[in-house]
Amino acid sequence: MDDSIEFATFGAGCFWCTEAIFRAIRGVTKVTPGYAGGHVSNPTYDQVCSGKTGHIEVAHISFYPKNIGYEQLVEIFFGIHNPTTQNRQGNDIGEQYQSVIFYHSTTQKEIAEKVKTRIETEKIYDAPLVTHIRPFTEFFEAEEYHKAYYAKHPDELYCETIINPKIVKLRKSFSHFLK
From CA 107, how far away is CA 69, in angstroms rounded? 12
Domain membership flag for residue 69: yes
CATH of the domain at 58: 3.30.1060.10
What is the residue range of 165's domain?
A: 6-172
Instruction: Please tell me the pTM assigned to this model.
Output: 0.95
Distance of CA 80 to the CA centre of its chain: 9
- In the chain, where does DSSP find H-type helix? 15-23, 45-49, 70-80, 106-121, 149-152, 157-158, 164-173
Give the model confidence (pLDDT) of 10-56 as tens digits. 999 999 999 999 999 999 999 999 999 999 999 999 999 999 999 99
Supply the pLDDT for residue 1: 42
pLDDT higher than 80, residue 2: no
For residue 88, being part of any structural domain is answered with yes
Active site residue 14: yes
Active-site option among 14, 17, 49, 159: 14
